[in-house]
Amino acid sequence: MADYIIRNGFVFDPILGINGDIMDVAVKDGKIVDAGDVTKATEIDASGMTVMAAGVDVHAHVAGPKVNVGRNFRPEDKLFSCSPRSGIKRMEAGFSVPTTIRTGYLYARMGFGFSMEAAMPPLYARHTHEEIVDTPIIDQGALPVFGNNWFVLEYIKENEVENTAAYIAWLLAQTKGYGVKCVNPGGTESWGWGMNCETVDDVVPYFDVTPRQIVDGLIAANEMLGLPHCMHVHGNSLGEPGNYGVTLDTLKIAEGHKPNNEFGRESVLHHTHLQFHCYGGESYASKSFESKSKEVMEYVNSTDNITFDLGVVTLDETTTMTADGPFEFHLSHMNNLKWANTDVELETAAGVVPFIYNPKTFIAGAQWAIGLELGLLIKDPMKAYITTDAPNAGPLMRYPRVYKWLMSAKARDDMLDNVLKYGDSVRERCYIGELDREISLYELAMMTRAGPAKTLGLSHMFGSLKAGLEGDVVVYPYNPESDTDDPEKIEYAFGNCNTLLKGGELIVKDGEVVSNGKQKRTFWVNAKTNENPVVERDISEKFKRYYTVTQNNYAVEGHHYVPNPYVIEVDATK
């Protein structure tokens, strides 16, 4: 493997405290090394450009059954967005739900090295892994969903945290999953009967347990196991006007829980796409819809054990998809577009609905503003990560546009003055008008690599240019001294990196993808627990009586589905 030295770039690395210093970054045998440790290295001239560790995406929907429903049921998403094969590059297609090939190339062009698929239905784990295998270049992991799983509901109802933890460990091993995801806790099981849980105290039909108990129990089990990532929650009442109270109730469940892990993670709860959960008002129809981002952020800023990602609305036509089945049904009634839904036995459900965030409507404008407000109100950017909940609030390829809005007050003012039809109302009923903060490149590096790597428990591999970490380095054609006049340069630069090294391999050279990557890995967590005959018996019983596959046909075997695994071992036997 060739060695590389990237010379004279403006380097940003919050872990090392490097803030725009001009220096060299070296990669040897696939890892970062001190610049003096390489001799015959290939030189890359980064003068006048920005150098960072490759990006880490904490939450995106880029592989799995619902993503593929999005692709297959939206031929229109491919209109005007196909790229022919050329050289080593295979065919690419799709805008809001790109093909796996395009997903890999998109991440590479944006300078990312790792992405977490944010919701994997366990019964469909094979599908998720098949797509991951066919996604070139980037390393990936996937979070199985637990918040509506019958085992979890039954154990938590009886307050059996140890059994919950044993079941989680078993399921991670079966599905080759990375951590604990919880979507609309209890609500998606209720959806099995066409119902929902709208607050943390609504009771799940038959199972007689509440979302509050589920979130609390999953956090406790997650910490009992000492998993690298904290419990990852998408709360109840997503997207509902007035839901910020439910959000605060959900966040407060983390009080009293302490992180327990060997990975340097400090949070016990990651709340995803928080933008959708910070709404005031009573309905969309009324004039009362308003931002409550400040109220939520006051709480987040006052705690140490919570992280979140933004979920910024990018004002595009996109494809929403979530394991929040009742939400998608509700959404389909709002826009009367096509609706796909799949309820998954004993485990979860999911829905998919196309959506147009129209800048000519007040609501879409306010949603756009709320997402950005969260990024601008955060005190510690290591706790707030930039996402679009791709493709829910906006397509993956819009990340650089979001950076532009966060980094430039001028760009935001242009949106409010010239693009949004109700920019004045948005200023009035949201906080965006009073925020003149501009996220710096140093803070951007926290919000897109150092922070997400930390909360995923991967800071020993990604998110920094510290010697010994993975050789994932990106050079953006952005000069922090002379390119500050035009916000468009931000969007262009972060969508079209000049150079990407992934694990020491040259993937993007002079802005062109030159390799499909040779060592793409699937990350999963193998948590060892003590033998638990009760859980073993329960699993065996449920498979015999209620699953439609046998227990022996449930596990995702490694050979084809996870051909190049990176297994993180956790010992929870003590």
Partner 1 sequence: MAKIVTDVVCPFCGTLCDDLEVALDDSGEKILEVYNACAIGATKFLHSQAEDRLTRPRMKQEDGSWKDVTYDEAVEYTAKMLVDAKKPLMYGWSSTSCSAQSIGSELGEEVGACMDNTATVCHGSTLIAVQDVGVPSATLGEIANRADRVVFWGCNPAHAHPRHMSRYSIFPRGFFTGKGSKSRKMVVVDPRKTDTAKMADIHLQLEQGRDYELLSAIRIAIRGEKLPETVAGIPAKTIKEVADTLKSGRFSVIFFGMGVTHSLGKNHNIDIAIAVTRDLNDYTKAAIIPMRGHYNVTGSGQVWGWQFGYPFCLDLSRGFPRYNPGDSSSNDLLIRDEVDAVFTLGSDPGAHFPVGSVKKIAQLPSVCIDPHITPTSAVSKLHVPVAFVGVEVGGCAYRMDNVPIETRKVVEPPEGMLTDEEFLAKVLDRVKKIKGVA
Shortest distance, position 521 Cβ to partner 1, whole Å: 19
**Residue 543 binds to partner 1 (criterion: CB under 8 A):** no
Mask of contacts with partner 1, 382-401, x by CB under 8 A? --------------------
Q: Could you give the count of Cα atoms lying within 13 Å of 412 in the half-sphere of its Cβ?
A: 28
Shortest distance, position 149 Cβ to partner 1, whole Å: 13
**Residue 117 binds to partner 1 (criterion: CB under 8 A):** no
Which residues in 302-331 contact partner 1 (CB under 8 A)? 329
Shortest distance, position 164 Cβ to partner 1, whole Å: 20
Shortest distance, position 396 Cβ to partner 1, whole Å: 15
Which residues in 194-213 contact partner 1 (CB under 8 A)? 194, 206
CA dihedral 31, 264, 63, 143 (to 10 degrees): 150
**Residue 541 binds to partner 1 (criterion: CB under 8 A):** no
Which residues in 439-458 contact partner 1 (CB under 8 A)? none
Shortest distance, position 108 Cβ to partner 1, whole Å: 17
* 3-class secondary-structure state, position 465: coil
**Residue 73 binds to partner 1 (criterion: CB under 8 A):** yes
Closer residue to partner 1 (CB): 47 or 546:
546
**Residue 549 binds to partner 1 (criterion: CB under 8 A):** yes
Shortest distance, position 548 Cβ to partner 1, whole Å: 4
CA 210 – CA 187 distance, rounded (Å): 9
Closer residue to partner 1 (CB): 62 or 501:
62
Please choose, out of 39-47, 176-184, 188-196, 476-484, the segment that lies near partner 1 by the rule CB under 8 A.
188-196
Residue 480's Cβ-count burial label (10 Å; 0-12, 13-18, 19+) is middle
Shortest distance, position 23 Cβ to partner 1, whole Å: 40
Shortest distance, position 123 Cβ to partner 1, whole Å: 6
Which residues in 142-171 contact partner 1 (CB under 8 A)? 150
* 3-class secondary-structure state, position 468: coil
Closer residue to partner 1 (CB): 131 or 505:
131
Please choose, out of 139-147, 157-165, 444-452, 546-554, the segment that lies near partner 1 by the rule CB under 8 A.
546-554
Q: In this structure, how many other beta carbons lie within 10 angstroms of the beta carbon of residue 533?
A: 8
Nearest to 128 by CA among 149, 142, 146: 142
Q: Are 298 and 244 in contact (CB under 8 A)?
A: no
**Residue 94 binds to partner 1 (criterion: CB under 8 A):** yes
Residue 547's Cβ-count burial label (10 Å; 0-12, 13-18, 19+) is middle
Structure tokens belonging to residue 125: 């784990």
CA 242 – CA 89 distance, rounded (Å): 47
Candidates 8, 22, 23, 126; binder of partner 1 (CB under 8 A) is 126
Structure tokens belonging to residue 56: 């880490």
**Residue 80 binds to partner 1 (criterion: CB under 8 A):** no
* 3-class secondary-structure state, position 307: strand
Read off the amino acid at residue 248: L
Shortest distance, position 354 Cβ to partner 1, whole Å: 9
Q: Are 450 and 265 in contact (CB under 8 A)?
A: no
Closer residue to partner 1 (CB): 339 or 492:
339
Candidates 261, 322, 332, 464; binder of partner 1 (CB under 8 A) is 332
Structure tokens belonging to residue 98: 């790109």
Closer residue to partner 1 (CB): 1 or 79:
79
Shortest distance, position 472 Cβ to partner 1, whole Å: 24
Shortest distance, position 326 Cβ to partner 1, whole Å: 10
Which residues in 333-352 contact partner 1 (CB under 8 A)? 337-346, 349, 352
**Residue 266 binds to partner 1 (criterion: CB under 8 A):** no
Closer residue to partner 1 (CB): 236 or 319:
319
Candidates 15, 27, 52, 123; binder of partner 1 (CB under 8 A) is 123
Closer residue to partner 1 (CB): 250 or 392:
392
In order, the DSSP letters of 135-191 are: S-SSEEEEEEB-TT-HHHHHHHHTT-HHHHHHHHHHHHHHHT--S-EEESTTHHHHG
For residue 202, give the DSSP letter.
P
The separation between CA 291 and the C-alpha centre of its own chain, rounded to angstroms, equals 23
Strands 4-13 and 18-28 turn out to be: antiparallel
In Å, how far are 87, 110, 161, 394, 532 from 376, measured between CA atoms? 42, 22, 37, 19, 46
Please choose, out of 124-132, 413-421, 427-435, 497-505, the segment that lies near partner 1 by the rule CB under 8 A.
124-132
Q: Are 369 and 432 in contact (CB under 8 A)?
A: yes
- 349: which strand partners? 343
**Residue 518 binds to partner 1 (criterion: CB under 8 A):** no
Which residues in 13-72 contact partner 1 (CB under 8 A)? 63, 65, 67-68, 71-72
Phi, psi of 110 (to 5 degrees): -85, 0
Q: What is the b/e burial string over 157-184, where b = at least 16 CB atoms within 10 angstroms of the residue's CB?
A: beebbbbbbbbbbbbbbbbbbbbbbbbb
Binding site for partner 1 (CB under 8 A): 63, 65, 67-68, 71-75, 77-78, 82-86, 90-94, 97, 99-101, 123-124, 126-127, 130-131, 134, 150, 191-194, 206, 329, 332, 337-346, 349, 352-353, 545-550, 552-553, 557, 560-561
